[in-house]
Amino acid sequence: MTSPSNSLRLELDSQISSPDSLLAAQAQLMSVAVRPPRIMVRGSGSYLWDHEGTRYLDFVQGWAVNALGHAPPEIAAALQAQAQTLISASPAFHNAPQLAFARELTRAAGLAQVHFTNSGAEANEAALKLARKWGRLHRGGAHQVITTLGSFHGRTLAMMAASGKPGWDALFPPVMPGFVKVPYGDAAAVEAQIGPETVAVMIEPIQGEAGVVVPPDGYLRELRRLCDERELLLICDEVQTGMGRTGTLFAFEREGVKPDILTLGKGLGGGVPISAVLAGERASCFVPGDQGGTYNGNPLMVAVARRVFELVSRAEFLAAVCARGRYLEQRLAPLCTEHGLGLRGRGLLWALVLREPSAEAIAVRCFASGLLINAPRPNLLRLMPSLRVSEAEIDELVSVLERALA
Ligand SMILES: *Cc1c(COP(=O)(O)O)cnc(C)c1O
């Protein structure tokens, strides 16, 4: 690969006098994140380049979004073909990609219907609306949803209330009512909180933002049993774990159970903004007027998601995700033994558990060595590479990590 720096400098220079002054333009951006003084300009597969031509091995991939890696040719081709055909006709009309993908995705999930949305949080909002509506129709107005401590469901006001992220309840009061939180991985704790107002249980099959927290075997099966017994809906937020990330198309498949409502995002679009809420026959109770959005089911985005799905849902692709996941685990094991680290995860979603709160410092050191990894908690490093990551790229990760931990 040639460095993009020269042509990029020219390009930037023609717009603004220098990358430095371009960076000065951050004063006009609302301050919602602390970002390094770099401009990311190009990606290819597992690599990302900044404006100075520095190359990074990317184990963050847009936050577990780029299922096929950076700038995959298949997405470019799908975007181009659809952009030349129809970009948007409005959600008031049918479009061909949406009809075709609805059939394929619901069949793969074993659920009855789907509604396409734009972000994980929006898909979860739709899931919550379905649960409340279902409670009104079938459970005498029951509306309370049991969620878990440490969970992450998005940043809308309702999803911040649903999430169990420490400190979030104090940020934008008043907090939306209707949620009860219990420890994650503990089905008995869910059972203890079920009351007459309870309508649903909402969980991530593996907690992603909390640091890849894998629940005990049988957790989902036990929740499914409870929901059946107590007439509740089981909502699986697979925004992070879905679309092959954990080695099966959906993480719920591993326990042989099905949720009533499923949400997808992140990897669904392979980097473009699209998400989805799916529901089984019983829970799919929207009627016209209940839900919608200007970009919901946008043909340009759905055409991309359909192409991504066609690739990641293949048995060979998912088998390769599992194989690369095992390789990653094997290669990290000696490092963990040497430094006394914990390792947890599945498929290509992993976290290293440090003994000290040094994750941020290590992530910064890795960045300086050209490796992008994420520190979701002070003592956790998270790895969420492209689902096409190669063994050689995993070897490169391990060697940079070795130096950063030394
Ligand atoms: C990222 C994430 C969300 C929120 O998705 P956005 O697209 O950022 O709104 C919701 N749930 C889970 C499990 C996630 O990982």
Ligand 1 pocket mutation, candidates 124, 240, 241, 374, criterion most atoms within 8 A of CB = 240
| Atom 6 of ligand 1: nearest residue by CA position | 120
The whole-number pLDDT of residue 1 equals 39
Q: Which atom of ligand 1 is nearest to the CA of 159?
A: 10
pLDDT tens digits along 275-311:
999 999 999 999 999 999 999 999 999 999 999 999 9
Q: Which atom of ligand 1 is nearest to the CA of 122?
A: 9
Asked about 152 being catalytic, the answer comes back as: yes
Distance 86 CA to ligand 1 centre (A): 28
The whole-number pLDDT of residue 4 equals 45
| Atom 10 of ligand 1: nearest residue by CA position | 153
72 lines ligand 1 (CB under 6 A): no
151 lines ligand 1 (CB under 6 A): no
127 lines ligand 1 (CB under 6 A): no
| Atom 5 of ligand 1: nearest residue by CA position | 120
Q: Which atom of ligand 1 is nearest to the CA of 241?
A: 13
Say which of 50, 116, 181, 237 is annotated catalytic: 237
The whole-number pLDDT of residue 3 equals 45
The whole-number pLDDT of residue 24 equals 80
Distance 198 CA to ligand 1 centre (A): 24
Say which of 59, 116, 152, 179 is annotated catalytic: 152
Prediction pTM value: 0.95
Q: Which atom of ligand 1 is nearest to the CA of 207?
A: 13
Distance 325 CA to ligand 1 centre (A): 22
208 lines ligand 1 (CB under 6 A): yes
Distance 178 CA to ligand 1 centre (A): 20
Domains and CATH numbers, the chain: 13-71+315-405 (3.90.1150.10), 86-312 (3.40.640.10)
Q: Which amino acid is at 63?
A: W
125 lines ligand 1 (CB under 6 A): no
The pLDDT profile of the chain, 406 residues, written as one tens digit per residue, is 344 445 555 455 455 456 777 778 788 899 999 899 899 999 999 999 999 999 999 999 999 999 999 999 999 999 999 999 999 999 999 999 999 999 999 999 999 999 999 999 999 999 999 999 999 999 999 999 999 999 999 999 999 999 999 999 999 999 999 999 999 999 999 999 999 999 999 999 999 999 999 999 999 999 999 999 999 999 999 999 999 999 999 999 999 999 999 999 999 999 999 999 999 999 999 999 999 999 999 999 999 999 999 999 999 999 999 999 999 999 999 999 999 999 999 999 999 999 999 999 999 999 999 999 999 999 999 999 999 999 999 999 999 999 999 8
Asked about 133 being catalytic, the answer comes back as: no
The whole-number pLDDT of residue 164 equals 97
The whole-number pLDDT of residue 7 equals 55
The whole-number pLDDT of residue 25 equals 79
Asked about 286 being catalytic, the answer comes back as: no
Q: Which two tokens stand for residue 167?
A: 């400190």
